[in-house]
Structure 1
Amino acid sequence: MLQLCLSWLGMGSLTASPWHLLLLGGASWILARILAWIYAFYDNCSRLRCFPQPPKPSWFWGHLALVSVAVDEEQRGKHAVHNTSGP
């Protein structure tokens, strides 16, 4: 079986088994895939930066539109509420 000596790394007579080499290769492949995905995401974001951003919706203006719709419906009589005081 193939046994590589790691004495040139200063580790003495330790040997690297094929399983260690396979694990190292797999970890390197996964790391390369993650880095490639990060770079593709960065490249995509940098290409999309040239487009103008839409205005961010404001909480106040969004809820103001909901209130005005409710007031319009109330004025039309759809949600008429009759308050009485006393018997």
Structure 2
Amino acid sequence: MRLPLPRAGRLDHTDGGDLMKTWTPSGAMAFTVEITSTNVRRGDVIQIGGQPCRVADLFQLPYGAKRLLFESGELLTMHPRTRLVALRVLRRW
């Protein structure tokens, strides 16, 4: 499964006239990885409903579950058996 990369990091006008910030890695190596609640990281990009969502924060829940907060403000709860495919950027400084 291939995940599309979001557009370049600039402000774009949407149909409603709102400004929407988009993100893409520039010059960084990106690869897909299967994630679970144990190995999900901030910065992972998960495609949900055809929309790429970048993980902004993680909250540990009981019984090994995690709640993911995306940059768009949406929440997703991953249970220990949940498996998703994400785009992960390899950052080398």
The reply to whether TM is greater than 0.5 is no
Larger % of helix: which? 1
Larger % of strand: which? 2
Please state which band the TM-score falls in when normalised by the shorter chain: under 0.3
Q: Which has the higher contact order (CA 8 A, sep 6+)?
A: 2
Q: TM-score, normalised by structure 1?
A: 0.17
